Structure 1
Amino acid sequence: MAEGTGDVNGLADDRALLGRTSTAERVSDILRSRIAAGFFPPGTRLSEDSIGGALGVSRNTLREAFRLLTHERLLEHQLNRGVFVRMLTDEDVEDIYRTRALVECAVVRGLGAPPYAVDGLADAVSDGRRAARAGDWKGVSTANIDFHRELVALAGSERTDELMRSVFAELRLAFHVVDDPRRLHEPYIARNGQILEALQKGRRDDAEALLVEYLDDSRRRVVDAYGTRGAAGERGA
């Protein structure tokens, strides 16, 4: 078989992009984490000068990072205004939960014979309970997301993990604008524990049934808690 070299003309000119793209990915990782943690709330305009200066990266690198996060639906470019952290709509939230139900329930349904590797789930449940005792509702939110990230990881699929990383990051945009995070997140500490217990006992069907009910109830609560505040944020943007 002949060696396939393809057309390499001009590749040397693209060599500089390798370092920049790698840096842009690292910058996007930093910004994604900051957005998830609420340092840049939905509706925030991201300043190229201040962020680029703080991170010590070029304008082109930062714009590439912005492009990556826009593709993940975490940022949006508004013509003649700049780049903003997205403010989700009710339709966005509904679609996020539709995706969660399709993926998370399929993961549980597709589990093989027990026992299941649930140490990560147990750690997330413990973290949520500990955060609740401390009145740290942002910490409870993080533990809830971690629980479901660990649940998806039971599939052992890097592609599914990557898909849901973006979905969970986008979901947190809604969490950051609700007025009463305790009311939103507290009920799911116990419900995470119920799903964990079902999996620990090898009751996969029970775990799936609990998850279906969990996600449907969570969807209604988030839409209810988020809708009025999100709409107000859009009007003020």
Structure 2
Amino acid sequence: MTVTGDWIDRLAEAKGTLARSSTAERVADVLRGHIMEGAMAPGARLSEEAIGAALGVSRNTLRESFRLLGHERLLVHEFHRGVFVARPGVEDVIDLYRVRRALELSALRGAERAPVEAVERVGAAVREGEEALRRSDWWGVGTANMHFHQAIAGLGGSPRIDEIMRQLLAELRLVFHVMAAPRDFHAPYLEHNRAIYELLRDGAPDAAADRLAEYLDVAERQLVDAFGRLDGSSAPGGEPE
């Protein structure tokens, strides 16, 4: 599978956000964002020519950004074949959810000190997901869910945690491609997201954390089971376009 078509068109829209002297870190941010939005499927081959032209960056800059994303487990380089989007496995699911519990539950339990605007970012992500649901936009629902969890981690006001969470959520979005029925997977969590937000808004962060802990347990089991059902010769069902 190669990365072509409208994904490259959307990538070109980010060209204006890059400074004239673009760094590999900025390019990596753009590519990571597209992975987190579900635009790049596991196993997709990345074309240096197409992506470099879309972003207007040199091959050396692009290769450095690929190297950075490789360290984040988002891309893999195969000798004589090229660069591909990573294919996470069940071990990755278990580890990702271990880290999510450490970051997100801690952020919620300490949210009594969170500023109002940080709490409102959680609410905005909930509303984003509900609006995507009304449009039957399951790609959009998945992206809103990423924004919800980024906002949860952001309650602590730590730039370092924010950066770790962005990397983690991009990898998690690759995991979600294993779900053959994205609607059935994503839709129930919108209700949970709203309940967590309302508990947080109403001054019950510990109850919100308890609700999220149950939610993460269920989601992890669903994903582990999906990988268990996945035949080694078949591709993941993926998210809708």
Matches within 5 A, 1:24-173: 24-112=24-112, 117-173=118-174
Residues 137-184 of structure 1, C-alpha deviation per residue, up to 9 Å, x if partnerless? 111111111111111111011111111110001100112342111111
Q: Which amino acid aligns with 1:60?
A: N
Tell me the distance in 2 between the aligned counterparts of 1:233 and 1:85: 17
Q: Equivalents in 1 of 2:227, 2:66: separation in Å?
A: 25
Q: How many positions carry a matched residue from both structures?
A: 217
SS of alignment partner, residue 39 of structure 2: coil
Partner of 1:23: 23
Aligned-partner Cα distance in 2 for 1:132–1:140: 6
Name the amino acid aligned to 2:159. Answer: E
- TM-score, normalised with respect to structure 2: 0.82
> Amino acid of the residue matched to residue 139 of structure 1?
G
Q: Is 182-191 or 34-43 further displaced after alignment?
A: 34-43
Separation in structure 1 between the aligned mates of residue 20 and residue 127 of structure 2, nearest angstrom:
40
Q: How far off its partner does 1:63 sit?
A: 0.7
* Other structure's SS at 1:57 match: coil
Q: How far off is 1:212 after superposition?
A: 0.7
In the alignment, the residues of structure 2 paired with residue 122 and residue 148 of structure 1 have an alpha-carbon distance, to the nearest angstrom, of: 11
SS in 2 for 1:118: helix
Query: 1:41 Cα deviation (Å)?
Result: 1.1
Q: 1:47 is matched by which residue type in structure 2? A: S
User: Displacement of 1:47 after TM fit?
Assistant: 2.0
Superposition RMSD on alpha carbons, in Å? 2.4
Q: Decide whether the 8 Å contact of 2:32 with 2:167 is kept in 1.
A: no
Offset at residue 56 of structure 1 (A) = 2.9
Query: Structure 2: which 5+ residue stretches go unaligned?
Result: 1-18, 237-241
Q: Unaligned regions of 5+ residues in structure 1, if any?
A: 1-18
Cα displacement string for residues 182-202 of structure 1 (whole angstroms, at most 9, x for unaligned residues): 111111000011111111221
User: Which residue in the other structure is 2:195 paired with?
Assistant: 194
Quote how far apart the aligned CAs of 1:21 are: 8.5
The Cα shift of 1:113 comes to 5.6
Q: Helix, strand or coil for the counterpart of 2:103?
A: helix
Asked if the contact 1:132–1:140 (Cα under 8 Å) also holds between the matched residues in 2, the reply is: yes
Identical positions, percent:
51
Conservation of the 8 A alpha-carbon contact between 2:126 and 2:193:
yes
